[in-house]
Structure 1
Amino acid sequence: MIQFNITPLSTEKDQDLWNKINSKTKPIGSLGVLEEIAFKIGKIQQNLSPQIQNPTVVVFAGDHGIADDGVSFYPKSVSYQMLYNYMQGGAAINVFSRQHGIDFKVVDAGIDHDFAPNLNIINKKIAYGTKNYRFESAMTKEQYLKCISSGAEVVEEIHKNGCNFIAFGEKGIGNTSSASLILSLLGNIPLEECVGRGTGLDTNGVKSKFELLNEGLSKYKGSKNPMDVLSYFGGFEVVMTVGAILKAAELKMCMLIDGFIITSALLAASKINSKVLEYCLFGHKSNEKAHVKMLKQLGGKPILDIGMCLGEATGAMVCYPIIKSAVSFINDMASFENAGVSESKESHTI
């Protein structure tokens, strides 16, 4: 198994960070969650003046054998078609990452399609989609390990280019099914409570999806070890994200976590090394019903709750301006002393 050296965050600068936040020309606590975000990023960076450098969003893409059984509202071919859309700059994630000046990268983890080498797609293809876990393991242990190492390699390369802030997204028709099974097994939650509408299934569609997934689960003979669960039920893009998360934490990067599928990868990564959670901000609560159960498992407090469930890291990108505001105020807002404003020691009001 690949080892990651993830160290817990130091508490050395905690008091100094809060002193700086509380000395700004405002009542204590009046910037709400912005204060918590500023503290978290400063703590990750161990810096009283934290900076976001070369922010990057990476979308891992892979196909799923289970998609052939109709667990999604869309056919599997949409996965590769969306990657072409990414290359043309037409997807929601393109719009939002471009809006905020964030570098956007796409990784082919296992799409059932060959892309021309001249396209700006990072080729880490493990295979042309996973196997159908209704009948057999989605991937081999060797493929699982290759996914972990490939995800780590992608992040390491991005980090070398000066990035200290990263968000992850995904594309893969059928991947809410994998995420549901991962949550059920690693979170000890009945599968029925973990299965949602995905890309827009109606009530009958959700029922059929549950029955198909439950059939696969009933045949599973493995343990609740993350490697066993991910090998049997994961997608190449999900497992690659697990490796990316572990490497980002090892490199002390701040991670902005997206919705249901990315949070399932974080859940799995946290079972491998719980210290990854110290490096995470949670962008939003997905409208996929079981996401709130994942967040509860991880102690994650989402910054936004605006009914999104698109994936692709779109929730994280919409949240990004709030992150920027948090970093801006801790660095640029005047203190009471610098502004010559009297500070009330009793009521903490101006």
Structure 2
Amino acid sequence: MSFDWLSSPCAQPDAELAESARAHQLQLTKPPGSLGTLEAVAIQLASLQRTAAPAVDRVWISVFAADHGVAEEGVSAFPQVVTGEMVRNFATGGAAISVLARSLDAKLDVVNLGTVNDPGDIPGVRRAIIAASTANFCHGPAMTEAQLDAALDVGAESVRAARKSEAQLFIGGEMGIANTTSAAALASALLDEPPSCLAGAGTGLNAAGIQHKVSVLERALAQHVTAKTALEQLRCLGGFEIAALVGAYVAAAQAGIPVLVDGFITTTAALAAVSIQPQLRPWLLFAHRSKEHGHVRVLMALEAEPLIDLGLRLGEASGAATAVPLLRLACALHNGMATFEQAGVSTA
């Protein structure tokens, strides 16, 4: 099985346009740096989009759904059938991300990689079934190499579709009962830190439930102690939807499409993707700081400063979608404000 495409070069941000955008910000009618992160985001987008007038009018949101074998260990407050039911809810417009995507006039791409409660063919859902779920990683690897390869390509295929639609921003989301357990396991392995530092409430576990999750994670990590590379850790501990996110992030950077990263699970996927292909890091913007326990630690590892902190922990790309208006405002300010010279405003 070849994963060579993951190490293919990423597009290069335009350093000259970054400097030009930074100089432009200094000429706008405001004290230098007074718009804080909004200035930095506009400069970053100008560099990534290779334009003096950055924009995020065309947003592509891919939500990858899949089930996890580790759910049989009782690590979620919700039953596993919810994953398939939520796939239908995404497509029929009732989920949070569905509402947000409509409000943003964003393209919502729902992808089913395999659920134990298969909802069948649904208009608006791409079926990319790999298996009903991953294997229980407490007993063996979550995925075979062939399954990992397929999941990575599912993510890359969504990026190919986004590029064809001339998307200016890619957002990845996820749905899968027990996927905070998978993300915590993967983050623990990638960071070489105990699962107690990464495991949180997920769908709403109490203190006893979180402690049980930690014990499950300790068993799983002991099972896969020989998995040393990020790709092998992803295969052994990840989920189909997490692997799809990894593939999407790498493919987006290779295609030159900026990425807005959502919460704990997607940020863990970003950490795995950067570990596999370090060149993609400049292409990542980070939307929010989740309430999920391990998210702060993963953000720190990526040296990421998220745009907002609203106590969100839903997933589905909902936090990233919520942050899109800030990106749009940053671009509007960068492109629309008058310079001191244009406005006839004194600088001294």
Q: Which TM bucket (shorter chain)?
A: over 0.9
**How far off is 1:53 after superposition?**
4.4
Provide the C-alpha distance between the structure 1 equivalents of 2:344 and 2:221, rounded to a whole number of angstroms. 65
Pair 1:176 & 2:167 matched:
no
**What residue is the counterpart of 1:66 in the other structure?**
70
**Structure 2 runs not aligned, ≥5 long:** none
**Of 2, 5, 17, which aligns to 2:4?**
2
Which residue identity lines up with residue 172 of structure 1 in the other structure? Answer: G
Q: Is the 8 A contact 1:59 1:107 kept in 2?
A: yes
1:71-101 Cα shifts (integer Å, max 9, x gaps)? 0110111101111111221111111111121
8 A contact 2:18–2:44 mirrored in 1: no
1:150 aligns with 2:154: yes
Greater shift in the superposed pair: 284-293 or 10-19:
10-19
Query: Could you tell which deviates more after superposition, 315-324 or 218-227?
Result: 218-227
Q: How many angstroms apart in 1 are the aligned matches of 2:101 and 2:14?
A: 31
> How far apart are 1:35 and its partner, in Å?
0.3
CA RMSD of aligned residues (A): 1.2
Measured after TM superposition, the shift of residue 221 of structure 1 is: 4.2
Post-superposition CA distance 1:259-289 (Å, at most 9, x none): 0000011000001111211011100001011
Moved more, 168-177 or 183-192: 183-192
Using the TM superposition, give the Cα deviation of residue 14 of structure 1 relative to its aligned residue in structure 2, in angstroms. 2.4
1:347 maps to: none
- Quote the offset at 1:239 in angstroms: 0.2
- Name the SS for the 1:110 alignment partner: coil
Distance in 2 between residues matched to 1:323 and 1:221, nearest whole Å: 41
Instruction: Determine the C-alpha separation between the residues in 1 that align with 2:310 and 2:165.
Output: 33
Q: Quick check: 32-41 or 207-216, which moved more?
A: 207-216
Alignment of 1:44 with 2:61, yes or no, is: no
Contact 2:88 2:122 in 1 (8 A): no
Map 1:231-250 to 2 at 5 A.
231-250=235-254
1:177 & 1:245 partners in 2: Cα distance?
A: 21
Aligned residue type for 2:4 = I
Secondary structure at the aligned position of 2:113 is classed as strand
| Number of residues of Structure 1 aligned to a counterpart in Structure 2 | 344
Contact 1:73 1:201 in 2 (8 A): yes
- Give the whole-Å Cα distance in 1 for the aligned partners of 2:256 and 2:74: 40
Partner of residue 26, structure 1: 30
Greater mean deviation of Cα atoms: 106-115 or 132-141: 106-115
Q: Which amino acid aligns with 2:234?
A: L
Q: Counterpart in 2 of 1:281?
A: 285
Distance in 2, matches of 1:220 and 1:161, equals: 40
Task: State the distance in 2 between where 1:327 and 1:111 align.
Answer: 39
The correspondence for 2:328, drawn from 320, 324, 329, is 324
8 Å Cα contact 2:15-2:47 kept in structure 1? yes
Q: Deviations over 1:291-322 (max 9, x none)?
A: 01000100110111111111001111111111
Partners of 2:35 and 2:58 in 1: CA distance: 26
Distance 2:174 2:220 in 1: 23
Task: Check if 1:97 corresponds to 2:101.
Answer: yes
Deviation at 1:222, TM superposition (A): 2.7
Aligned to 1:348: none
Which one-letter code corresponds to 2:169 in the other structure? Answer: F
Structure 2 distance, partners of 1:112, 1:120, is 20
Using the alignment, how far apart are the partners of 2:117 and 2:226 within structure 1? 30
Asked if 2 retains the 8 angstrom alpha-carbon contact of 1:144 and 1:227, the reply is no
Per-residue deviation at 1:240?
Answer: 0.7
- Residues 113-165 of structure 1 show CA distances to partners (whole Å, capped at 9, x for unaligned) of 33443521011111111011111111101111111122111211221111121
Identity of aligned residues (%): 35
Give the secondary structure class of the aligned counterpart of 2:215.
Answer: helix
In the aligned structure 2, how far is the partner of 1:9 from the partner of 1:275?
Answer: 10
Q: 2:196 is matched with which residue?
A: 192
Distance across 2 between alignment mates of 1:319 and 1:337? 32
- 316-325 or 214-223, larger mean C-alpha shift: 214-223
Q: Is the 8 A contact 1:65 1:133 kept in 2?
A: yes
Q: Distance in 2 between matches of 1:235 and 1:223?
A: 16
Query: Does structure 2 conserve the Cα–Cα contact (< 8 Å) formed by 1:2 and 1:145?
Result: no
Separation (CA, whole Å) in 2 of partners of 1:310 and 1:89 = 16
* Equivalent pair of 1:110/1:237 in contact (CA under 8 Å): no
2:91 counterpart residue number:
87
- Select between 115-124 and 143-152 the one with higher mean Cα deviation: 115-124
Task: Compare 113-122 and 21-30 and name the one that shifted more.
Answer: 113-122
Q: Which residue of 1 aligns with 2:128?
A: 124
